[in-house]
Structure 1
Amino acid sequence: MPLIPRRRPIIIPSPREPLTAIEAMARFNQAHRRQLRRIVWARRLIVAAMLAWGGYLFWLLIAAARP
């Protein structure tokens, strides 16, 4: 599975009309929205896993401290 799926060609503007920064950002965001969403979900998953692992270790600490 490639990192950047090539479903739509990225539109290259003609050199006659210069692209403003806002337009360029909008175009880039549109082209990479799926990738960004995937990265966001991966980050959320990593954070959730870290929280779960931390909770588990905390539970073990409490269990070990009890007589």
Structure 2
Amino acid sequence: MIYYSVIPAEVALQDPAQPEPKIREVLVEGVSMMVEVDGAGEGRILRLLSTDPAHYLDPRYQPGSRVSLKS
């Protein structure tokens, strides 16, 4: 099946029974990023919002990496 739409596939095909993930914009070690928050004070990086190219080359800030949200 081919799906053509302006709506992203992950939005259109998501399971309505699943709860919405908690996504927040946070600043971790001076790097701005979007994080999916867990209940354990940690989060999974979804994307970087930083304008510094060096942050994108740092393996600690790769999407999918875990970060601590405790200050």
With normalisation by structure 2, the TM-score equals: 0.24
Q: Name the structure, 1 or 2, with higher relative contact order (CA <8 Å, separation 6+).
A: 1
Between structures 1 and 2, the one with greater helix share: 1
Greater gyration radius = 1
Between structures 1 and 2, the one with greater strand share: 2
